[in-house]
Amino acid sequence: MKKFILGIFIGVVLILLFTYLGGGSALKTVGEKTIEVGERVEVYEQALKDATQGLLTKKGEGAKETTQEKDIKK
């Protein structure tokens, strides 16, 4: 029980220190940077999807060609 009350007390003290020392502006800065990184990741994600989609379609075409070649040989 003592540890629980001590944990609550320490949590309240940390929240007050965070607020007093300008935690809001720090969170705002971190949020802006996170948005920038997220936009960059979206670009990479789209490029990766395009590349893998191209590979999958080429792989699918290759399988069709081998099937057609087998049919011709028969």
pTM of the full structure? 0.48
Mean pLDDT of each 10-residue bin along the chain, 74 residues long: 95 92 88 95 91 75 55 55
State the distance between the two ends of the chain, measured CA to CA, in whole angstroms: 82
Q: Is residue 46 part of a domain?
A: yes
How many separate domains does the chain show? 1
Q: Is residue 14 part of a domain?
A: no
Residues spanned by the domain of 29? 23-66
